[in-house]
Copies of this chain bind each other. A is one copy, B any other.
Amino acid sequence: MKNVKLIIEYDGTNYCGWQKQKNNITVQGTLEKALNKATNERVDAIGSSRTDAGVHARGMVCNFITSSSIPAERFREAINRHLPSDVAIIKSEEVEESFHARYSSKGKSYSYTIINRYENVVIGKNFCCQVRENLDIDSMKMACKYFVGQHDFQAFQSKGSSVKTTIRTIDELCIEKEKDTIKIHVTADGFLYNMVRIIVGTLIQVGKGKIKADYVGNIIESLDRMKAGPCIKANGLVLEKVYY
């Protein structure tokens, strides 16, 4: 028996998120089918994160236990053979028995892409959120500072998940703009349910002038979901990397 770790890239557009569902096509379900074909076993894939419908990944991590004789490094090709073109194994390697894609994770990085222009977006539309009103990028950058560090992020969590604590540490939250593309990068030791999308939703409100940059500290302190911005749409979000 060996424990195999996979790094997976996927275009989440046509999936109902990561987690297996009975009647919907999900990334985990699709991957497990491919795993079963590659190993001739019934294999459970343990994912690092349960990305929502429409969210993408460049660096989703998962692990599975197998008694297959395929060398761990060969799993990449062996599984890719059975995957559709919107999911690909980037790397496969053997890891310690104790490695668990979810519980061993020490941190994660996400990116979020906003296209800020009035004209309809066509190229890349499944990988961004379009904002037609002009965003003040300097205010958004100022607002970022309040998020960095250890905070109780209860105000930035959607209902529907139970976690022991809503305290998380954001190591980095930065924004870069090139032409009409605004890219937000965020790294933390972990994220609450919809946390990145609510942070980005709040930053957009700041960019529109509806929330003042220096009020963001108060929103965090309030622990009040109603004070933060909306949960912005899923398809601008990419799980970039999981740290162990």
Q: Could you list which residues of chain A lie within 8 angstroms of chain B, going by C-beta atoms?
A: 9-11, 56, 58, 76, 80, 85-91, 119-125, 127, 238
- Count copies of this chain in the complex: 2
Known contacts A10-B123, A86-B122, A124-B127; 17 additional CB pairs below 8 A are A9-B119, A9-B120, A9-B122, A11-B123, A11-B125, A58-B123, A76-B119, A85-B122, A85-B125, A87-B122, A88-B119, A88-B120, A88-B121, A89-B120, A90-B119, A90-B120, A123-B238
Residues on B with C-beta less than 8 A from A87 are 122
Instruction: Report whether over half of chain A's contact residues are helix, strand or loop; otherwise say mixed.
Output: mixed
A123 touches which of B119, B125, B127 (Cβ 8 Å): B127
Nearest neighbor of A127 in chain B, beta-carbon distance: B123
Residues on B with C-beta less than 8 A from A122 are 9-11, 85-88
Nearest neighbor of A80 in chain B, beta-carbon distance: B120
Q: Closest 10 interchain pairs by CB?
A: A88-B120, A9-B122, A90-B119, A88-B122, A11-B122, A11-B123, A86-B122, A10-B122, A56-B123, A80-B120
Nearest Cβ distance between residue A182 and chain B, in whole angstroms?
A: 17
Nearest Cβ distance between residue A105 and chain B, in whole angstroms?
A: 21
Nearest Cβ distance between residue A29 and chain B, in whole angstroms?
A: 17
Residues on B with C-beta less than 8 A from A56 are 123
Could you jot down 6 A-B contacts, CB within 8 Å? A9-B122, A11-B122, A11-B125, A56-B123, A88-B121, A123-B127
Q: How far, in whole Å, are A127 and B86 apart by their CA atoms in the complex?
A: 13
